[in-house]
Chains A and B, each alone.
Chain A
Amino acid sequence: MSAPLLTIENVAVDLPTPRGNLRAVDHVNLSLEGGRTLGIVGESGCGKTMLSRAVLQLLPKKAKLAGRVIFDGQDLVRLDAERLRRLRGRDLAVVFQDPMTSLNPVLTIGTQLMETIQEHLELDAPVAKKRSIELLAAVGIPAPEQRLAQYPHQCSGGMRQRIAIAIALSCEPKLLIADEPTTALDVTIQAQILDLLAREQRRRHMAMIIITHDLGVVAGRADEVAVMYAGRVVERAPTSALFKRMHMPYTEALLAAIPKLDTAPHTPLPAISGRPPDPTRPLKGCSFAPRCRYAAGRCHEAKPELMDAETPGHRYACFHPIRMAEGIGA
Chain B
Amino acid sequence: MLNFVVRRLLAMLPVLLAVSLLTFLIASLLPGDLALVILGDQATPENVAALRRDMGLDQPLWWRYLSWLGQVMQGDLGRSFRTGQTVLQAVAERIPVSLQLMLMAEFIGLLIGVPLAIVCAARAGGAFDRFMTGGAFAMLSMPSFLTAILLIYLFAVELRWLPATGYVPFTEAPLANLRFFVLPALTLALAEWPGIMRVLRSDMIATLQEDYIALAKAKGLKPARILFVHALKPSSLTLVTVTGINIGRLLGGTLIVESIFALPGIGRLLVGAIYTRDLVILQGVVLLVACGFVIVNFIVDMLYAVLDPRIRHGHA
Contact = CB atoms under 8 A, between A and B. Distances in A.
A175 B225 CA distance: 24
A327 interface: no
Contacts of A195: none
A57 to B, nearest CB: 9
B76 interface: no
A38 to B, nearest CB: 18
A104 B230 contact: yes
Given A106-B307, A115-B225, A151-B310, A88 B219 contact: yes
Given A104-B230, A105-B309, A153-B315, A116 B212 contact: no
Contact of B211 (A102, A106, A153): A102
A86 B223 CA distance: 12
Contacts of A101: 210-212
B142 interface: no
A104 B220 contact: no
A302 B310 CA distance: 55
A103 interface: yes
B53 interface: no
Given A101-B210, A153-B315, A94 B218 contact: yes
Given A104-B230, A153-B309, A96 B215 contact: yes
B207 to A, nearest CB: 10
A102 B230 CA distance: 12
Nearest to A170: B219
Contacts of B82: none
Contact of B313 (A93, A103, A104, A153): A153
A105 B310 contact: yes
B288 to A, nearest CB: 35
Contact of A151 (B212, B221, B230, B309): B309
A105 B219 contact: no
B267 to A, nearest CB: 37
Contacts of B222: 85, 119
A120 interface: yes
Interface string B286-316: 0000000000000000000001111001010
Interface string A84-103: 01111110111010100111
A107 interface: yes
Given A104-B234, A106-B309, A90 B220 contact: yes
A89 B309 contact: no
B304 to A, nearest CB: 11
Given A96-B215, A102-B212, A107 B229 contact: yes
Given A101-B212, A104-B230, A119 B219 contact: yes
A58 interface: yes
B221 A104 contact: no
Nearest to B316: A153
Nearest to B215: A102
B216 interface: yes
B217 interface: yes
Contacts of A58: 214, 217-218
Contacts of B234: 104-106
Contacts of B216: 104
B48 to A, nearest CB: 63
A241 interface: no
A217 interface: no
A148 interface: no
Nearest to A93: B218
Contact of A88 (B220, B230, B310): B220
Q: Of residues B217, B225, B307, which shows the largest number of chain A Cβ atoms within 10 Å of its Cβ?
A: B217
Interface string A251-270: 00000000000000000000
Contacts of B217: 58, 88
B211 A86 contact: no
A74 interface: no
Interface string B225-242: 100011001100000000
Interface of B: 210-212, 214-223, 225, 229-230, 233-234, 307-310, 313, 315
Interface of A: 56, 58, 85-90, 92-94, 96, 98, 101-107, 115-116, 119-120, 151, 153-154, 164, 167
Given A88-B219, A89-B218, A102-B211, 5 more contacts: A85-B221, A89-B220, A102-B212, A107-B233, A164-B215
